[in-house]
Amino acid sequence: MKKSQTILYLVRHGETLFNTQGIIQGHSDSELTNKGKKQAEDLGNLFKNIAIDEYYSSDLNRAVHTAEIIKRNQLEPTKIDKNLREKCYGRFERKIFTELKVLDDLLDTVDKDKRLSFKAFPDVESDSEVAIRMVSFIKDSHSKKKNKTILAVTHGGSMRSLLLYLGWGTYDSLPPNVVKNTSYIKLLVRNEKIEVVESVI
């Protein structure tokens, strides 16, 4: 008997105004730029020959807008899932990226095997907290949509946290901001196993 599986494409949203200004977004939001819209159109062209059964997005507008552009005129509705949200940066949101150096400096003081769960401040999500909710979305989608192909628009920080959690890379090989706008990773999900089969970041 053939094992059930799910193919899942996780996509980062297009460029936003805050991206161009070097401002930390997290759970805050800003609109796609014209370049960001074009990036989403280009990604839609890339995926046009792939039969996508379900479209998902985080509830943040920049992701929803990207998903709608990728879908174009397809009637399949975009399903919203908060588990796909960006990492929450709490007190650092809407500030400039250089202010995140304090988080990087604190992380450098932590043993490598404890970095995933390290929580620098109560209002800043750890990488494991982000990854666990991402995995929850992935496993829930698989249980409901076996043998389907899903595209989900999410965020760069969340994708990085997931890759770190899955052991696909390390903090050295996956530095902050490594996942560029409209980059994607392709996952193959069989039962409880999540495998990264392609990464274009």
* b/e sequence 141-169, b meaning 16+ C-beta within 10 Å: bbeebeebbbbbbbbbbbbbbbbbbbebb
Q: Are the C-beta atoms of 4 and 190 separated by less than 8 Å?
A: yes
Total domains in the chain come to 1
Give, in order, the Cα–Cα distances in Å from 95 to each of 56, 91, 100, 101, 148: 28, 9, 9, 12, 40
Amino acid 3: pLDDT: 66
Give me the chain's average pLDDT, please.
94
* CATH number of the domain bearing residue 181: 3.40.50.1240
The string of pLDDT tens digits covering residues 147-174 is 899 999 999 999 999 999 999 999 999 9
86 labelled catalytic:
yes
pTM of structure: 0.95
Q: Which of 13, 65, 142, 155 is catalytic?
A: 13
Q: Which of 15, 86, 93, 125 is catalytic?
A: 86
Q: Which domain holds residue 75?
A: 5-200
The string of pLDDT tens digits covering residues 99-158 is 999 998 999 899 999 999 999 999 999 999 999 999 999 999 988 877 899 999 999 999
The string of pLDDT tens digits covering residues 77-92 is 899 999 999 999 999 9
